Structure 1
Amino acid sequence: MSQEQQQQVAPDSPAKTEHQPRKFYEIPRQDSQQPAENEEPAGHALLDYINRSVIGSYMPFNGPFGQRHLVYCDYTASGRALSFIEDYIRDEVLTHYGNTHTTTGVTSLQTTMFRDEARDIVRNCCRASDLDAVIFTGSGCTGAVHKLIHNLQLKVPPLVFVGPYEHHSNLLPWQEVAAEVIRIEPTPEGAVNLDQLERLLKEAAAEPGANPDRRVIGCFAAASNITGVLSDTVRLACLLHRHGALAFFDYAAAAPYVPIDMNPVEDAGLSYKDAVYFSCHKFVGGVQTPGVLIVKRALLSSPVPDGVGGGTVFFVRRERRIFLDEAEHREEGGTPAIVESIRAGLVLQLKRTVGQDLLAKRERHLCDLTWRELHGAEGISVLGGRELQRLPLFSFVVRHPASGLLLHHMFVATLLNDLFGIQARSGCACAGPYAMDLLGISEPVAARLEAALVGRSGMGQFVRSKYFDYPHRELLRPGFVRINLPFFMPDQEAVFVLRCLR
């Protein structure tokens, strides 16, 4: 496709606005985006403002077929920066920046207050109580899960139930502590099979000679990062608590779009969550933000922090040290990710400003728009069903019409980039077991693929680098292409993306 042809179907690039000094919450009146049905004008203006403020939006680049403009559809992997958040950080935060852990100087005091306020914003947005600790973790959900496991002080390897569509970060850490991990099967529609979970919970409770120190834990994704299918976290938490199990939830894919409620009141108060974790970098505006762990303080049983060092102690003498009692500080050793955690508070504040009603309307609208545009599209198979409530993120494979074989996912993603500027993601989305379910890859076939990828016996679990050791074998790695349509994407741009897929 020539540059002229692309320009005929590409969305109009909004004019860059010059951002004047302003408060974080001020919303300019702009009206370049058509509101969906029943969408409030104020909310429509905010969505338009967010879309226009994405740094690098519609940025031109030179590809093999000429110049194209970026159309970013990879927010499920990472959000992009917002100019008004970066303006606020530059003008308000960095001008008063100083290290935390002291309050005697104005810079350290102001920075500490900014960071404390960011923590409170996260707490309030997630309806966490004083019984819940809000801890910033350095490496997204992976860091949060490891910190959680450390604090559980597991004397006996636990029994852990996981959902059918868990990300590796919610699966592998439990395997590494020798837990017995049982994967709950999906229902025919693709939801977590609650009947199977209840049966297994009852069997675990009735097991003769069960070790009383063995914890039973349920770890479930609030949404699949492959299909966007949403879990019923309230029903899951109630079921787990009725059978004496802990309820942990991975909100990595869901957090930017759905409400996070640590303490719902349904079912006689059994619906509370023992821990949730998510990655703020997946929010729009969340570039370079830490992960977040929100956990019941009663579960933080380790008196020694996960990372011992500066900022974790109350007093140190030559032969003894006393750690802080406050877990939120004890578990954030060393100089924390100061600006990053402040930015995390800002993106949570932005989500709250948009409002859950508007978010839900846009999510439903974009899902409906996708199904309409892709209806009857030849050769495209969207993974997962349409029956369940889901986020507008879609994974698909493309079948070659002449041979009936699937086009390689990396080839399809490269074509989307080179022809249309669409930034998609190919692979297994770090959710290998669920990806194999969706692609119909049995365990024997998966074992053969693994052997072919590793290539020589005796290597075991350790490969130095998949790219440097065996670059030619990457073609054997199964996968799909994933896009997502963020809530602030104008309909015109979403239609452009979907018609490019056709």
Structure 2
Amino acid sequence: MSVDVRDQFPVTKTRLTSAVTGAGMPLTYFDHGASTHAPESVLHAHERFIREAYSNVHRGAHHLSIVSTEAYEDVRWKAKAFVGARKDQEVVFAENTTDALNLAAHLMAERPGVTLVSAMEHHSNDLPHRAKGPVVHFGTDENGQVDMRDFEKKLAEHKVKLVAITAASNVTGIRPPLDDIVDLAHAFGAKVLVDGAQALAHLPTDLSRIGTSGGPDFFAAAGHKAYAPMGGAFLVAPREVLDHAEPYRPGGGTVKFVALDDAMWVDGVERHEGGTPNVPGIVAMGAAIDFLRGIGMEAVRAHELELLKAMFAGMEQIPGVRWLGTAPPEDRVGTVSFVVDGVPHALVSTVLDNEYGIATRNGCFCAHPYLVDLLGIDDPEMVRERIKAGATTREPDFPGAARASLGIYNDIADVERFLEALHTVAAKGWKGDYSWADGTWVHQRPAIAGTPAGA
């Protein structure tokens, strides 16, 4: 990606002060799998809307309400076009991907059958379905990919109403074979929900061209993982499902008329968008879609794949470092979870941050079953018993990994800085004096005098 793209992100100018040396250092942000930063164009659109047009939507006859409604509804069409939804599908706005996935579970709750969920899912594409009815899981193989034999077996054994599958794992970045999954599910009469949180900003998406049976029925994603501020998300869903399900969040805006003994619900998206939405967040999400379309998702993917290949090649040369899942870079998005022999995952992320300014994430990534399997834990029940006994996932020896996730403004220099730092961590050559306190690793000595931040 060109320097020009990098310069559009104010966060790339951020400098930090090392808690260990006191020296200034650039921020290297490798936590895009959790949230992304916004470029200037998105920040400007967000601020301009708040300054010049901010008003409630849909029910006002005055100028600001009309302008706000037009801006809000325009994003609905942008999102639909950006992901290639079918004509019979609509875009329902949500607060975040978790909210959108809960909406999908709600929409299918009253239909007969079980929901078939992959074992690689984020909890947000598993727990909402458990809350709404029976769930059956299908497994993953030794490579960290979904087990298609188990998937087909479970489809044949159960009356499946919905298949819940990620477009890309938030742990490994591995991409399930959506073409095969969608077509096989449809052949058994099931609908398909795709969690697109880790795909929207990383891969070209054309839902109608996934498989040969019309593509997935539902697709959930959020703006804050695609270079917009937090607060805007959406669910693509079939119009007929939206029209026949009970309102997701009944209240203002979801009705045609209310009497003391009855309520007449509207059809379509407004049936499920009760209350005042986060209009600035939705508008910013639309600006982020414009930003990504301006670059082109093929170019975004090519840039990320180049960095991902360099990251894997470098990590392969560092003794004691192992990444999770064996799929090649071509079958992943830019997310790599890894472990370092003899170094707790929380300490890995702490050293990378404190001494190199490299932002990673660590833990279980809200995907406990998948991570336990990837780590090769033979007795998952042992983990359960520790929790029952009062342990938390923030214990220093609790199973987990560190995760580096790439974004559009990262460059090869970021990857090289990360690899150099990781080599030092793997060799246990950090400078800090770290001890465990209050759920985190803390450097115990005062910072050594060094170059001031910003130098």
Per the shorter chain, which TM-score range? 0.7 to 0.9
Deviations 1:182-201 (A, max 9, x none): 22332x44322223322332
Partners in 1 of 2:208 and 2:11 — Cα distance? 38
Instruction: Indicate yes or no: 2:269 matched with 1:328.
Output: yes
Which residue of the partner structure matches residue 434 of structure 2? none
Deviations 1:138-179 (A, max 9, x none): 2x22211221222224254x3222223111001111222341
Instruction: Indicate yes or no: 2:42 matched with 1:85.
Output: yes
Equivalent residue for 2:164, pick from 219, 233, 245: 219
Partners in 1 of 2:275 and 2:175 — Cα distance? 36
Deviations 1:80-119 (A, max 9, x none): 1322211223235531221112241110000000001111
Q: 1:118 to 1:386 in 2, by over 3 A?
A: same
Q: Where does the alignment leave 5 or more consecutive residues of structure 1 unmatched? A: 1-43, 205-213, 400-405, 457-469
Q: 1:151 to 1:164 in 2, by over 3 A?
A: closer
Equivalent residue for 1:276, pick from 194, 199, 219: 219
How far apart are residue 215 of structure 1 and its match?
Answer: 4.5
Which residue of the partner structure matches residue 361 of structure 2? 425
TM-score by length of 2: 0.87
Partners in 2 of 1:368 and 1:152 — Cα distance? 40
Partners in 2 of 1:182 and 1:496 — Cα distance? 40
Partners in 1 of 2:219 and 2:245 — Cα distance? 21
TM-score by length of 1: 0.79
Partners in 2 of 1:88 and 1:101 — Cα distance? 20
Partners in 2 of 1:215 and 1:203 — Cα distance? 9
Amino acid corresponding to residue 353 of structure 2 in structure 1:
N
Amino acid corresponding to residue 263 of structure 1 in structure 2:
S
Structure number with greater CO (CA < 8 Å, separation at least 6) is 2
Instruction: Indicate yes or no: 2:53 matched with 1:96.
Output: yes
Q: Aligned residues: percent identity?
A: 26
How far apart are residue 234 of structure 1 and its match?
Answer: 1.6
Amino acid corresponding to residue 413 of structure 1 in structure 2:
S
Conserved? CA contact 2:138–2:150, under 8 Å:
no
Amino acid corresponding to residue 104 of structure 2 in structure 1:
L
Deviations 1:435-456 (A, max 9, x none): 00111113xx332223223325
How far apart are residue 302 of structure 1 and its match?
Answer: 4.1
Which residue of the partner structure matches residue 107 of structure 1? 64
Which residue of the partner structure matches residue 26 of structure 1? none
Instruction: Indicate yes or no: 2:186 matched with 1:241.
Output: yes
Amino acid corresponding to residue 346 of structure 1 in structure 2:
A
Q: 1:141 to 1:216 in 2, by over 3 A?
A: same
Equivalent residue for 1:501, pick from 400, 416, 422: 422
Look up the SS of the partner of 1:160 in the other structure. Answer: strand
Amino acid corresponding to residue 65 of structure 2 in structure 1:
S
Deviations 1:45-66 (A, max 9, x none): xx43332232332422332321
Partners in 2 of 1:179 and 1:316 — Cα distance? 34
Conserved? CA contact 2:193–2:219, under 8 Å:
yes
Which residue of the partner structure matches residue 286 of structure 2? 345
Range moving further from structure 2, 99-108 or 412-421: 99-108
Partners in 1 of 2:236 and 2:40 — Cα distance? 28
Partners in 1 of 2:340 and 2:403 — Cα distance? 12
Equivalent residue for 1:52, pick from 1, 4, 7: 7
Correspondences of 1:406-421 after superposition (within 5 Å) = 406-421=342-357
Partners in 1 of 2:30 and 2:339 — Cα distance? 16
Conserved? CA contact 1:152–1:302, under 8 Å:
no
Conserved? CA contact 1:134–1:295, under 8 Å:
yes
Correspondences of 1:71-470 after superposition (within 5 Å) = 71-92=28-49, 94-138=51-95, 140-154=96-110, 156=112, 158-186=113-141, 188-204=142-158, 215-264=160-209, 266-267=211-212, 270-284=213-227, 286-302=228-244, 304-325=246-267, 327-387=268-328, 389-399=331-341, 406-442=342-378, 445-455=379-389
Partners in 1 of 2:103 and 2:393 — Cα distance? 37
Look up the SS of the partner of 1:300 in the other structure. Answer: helix
Partners in 1 of 2:301 and 2:225 — Cα distance? 17
Conserved? CA contact 1:135–1:294, under 8 Å:
yes
Range moving further from structure 2, 51-60 or 108-117: 51-60
Conserved? CA contact 1:217–1:248, under 8 Å:
yes
Q: Where does the alignment leave 5 or more consecutive residues of structure 2 unmatched? A: 424-455
Deviations 1:407-451 (A, max 9, x none): 111111000001101010000111111100111113xx3322232
Partners in 2 of 1:492 and 1:142 — Cα distance? 34
How far apart are residue 224 of structure 1 and its match?
Answer: 0.9
Conserved? CA contact 1:144–1:293, under 8 Å:
yes
How far apart are residue 471 of structure 1 and its match?
Answer: 7.0
Q: 1:471 to 1:203 in 2, by over 3 A?
A: closer
Look up the SS of the partner of 1:224 in the other structure. Answer: coil
Amino acid corresponding to residue 261 of structure 1 in structure 2:
D
Deviations 1:221-258 (A, max 9, x none): 11111111112212211111111111111111111111
Range moving further from structure 2, 433-442 or 271-280: 271-280
Q: 1:291 to 1:96 in 2, by over 3 A?
A: closer
Q: 1:65 to 1:415 in 2, by over 3 A?
A: same
Partners in 2 of 1:83 and 1:290 — Cα distance? 18
Q: 1:471 to 1:189 in 2, by over 3 A?
A: closer
Conserved? CA contact 1:313–1:321, under 8 Å:
yes
How far apart are residue 281 of structure 1 and its match?
Answer: 0.9
Partners in 2 of 1:440 and 1:256 — Cα distance? 30
Amino acid corresponding to residue 299 of structure 1 in structure 2:
V
Q: Matched residue pairs, number?
A: 420
How far apart are residue 393 of structure 1 and its match?
Answer: 1.4
Look up the SS of the partner of 1:483 in the other structure. Answer: strand
Instruction: Indicate yes or no: 2:27 matched with 1:70.
Output: yes
Q: 1:155 to 1:227 in 2, by over 3 A?
A: closer
The alignment's C-alpha RMSD in Å is 2.1
Look up the SS of the partner of 2:282 in the other structure. Answer: helix
Amino acid corresponding to residue 201 of structure 1 in structure 2:
L
Deviations 1:8-45 (A, max 9, x none): xxxxxxxxxxxxxxxxxxxxxxxxxxxxxxxxxxxx5x
Amino acid corresponding to residue 195 of structure 1 in structure 2:
R
